[in-house]
């Protein structure tokens, strides 16, 4: 089993989850069970799937959970873009930068495992 705390992808994903909670805190009240909830679930799914994958024995299982985490990350990227276009929040350079960095690091990890 792997130690998720040693993975840069996990650290970044955890930071994204925290930033998404802050980002969605200003959303309209009527979005509490809509986009707010959806974004938070997807954001928490990213580090959660990395952790779960690290707990699996096989490389194939680990890779499957990393793929799921990457899909959730892309979902959050779209949802953040939608929220901005709907005027639910102001653009935060920190969130955009963190999403981009997390995407690159997670994609590189996935590529690295597929090559081995």
Residue range 35-88, pLDDT digits in tens: 999 999 999 999 999 999 999 999 999 999 999 999 999 999 999 999 999 999
Backbone angles phi, psi at 99, to 5 degrees: -65, -45
Query: Rounded distance, CA 46 to CA 9, Å?
Result: 9
Does residue 1 have a pLDDT over 90? no
Q: How many domains does the chain have?
A: 1
**Which residues, at least 6 apart from 65, have a Cβ–Cβ distance to it below 8 Å?**
49, 50, 52, 53, 56
Centroid of chain to Cα 104: 12
Measured at the CA of 53, the angle between CA 6 and CA 78, to 5 degrees, comes to 90
Q: Which domain holds residue 29?
A: 4-115
CATH number for position 27: 1.20.1440.60
């Amino acid at each position: 089993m792997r130690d998720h705390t040693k993975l840069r992808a996990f650290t970044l994903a955890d930071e994204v989850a925290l930033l998404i909670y802050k980002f969605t805190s200003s959303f309209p009240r009527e979005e509490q069970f809509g986009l707010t909830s959806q974004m938070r679930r997807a954001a928490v799914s990213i580090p959660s799937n990395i952790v779960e994958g690290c707990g699996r024995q096989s490389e194939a299982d680990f890779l499957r959970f990393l793929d799921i985490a990457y899909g959730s990350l892309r979902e959050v990227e779209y949802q953040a873009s939608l929220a901005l276009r709907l005027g639910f929040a102001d653009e935060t350079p920190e969130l955009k930068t963190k999403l981009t960095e997390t995407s690159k690091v997670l994609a590189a990890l996935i590529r690295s495992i597929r090559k081995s």
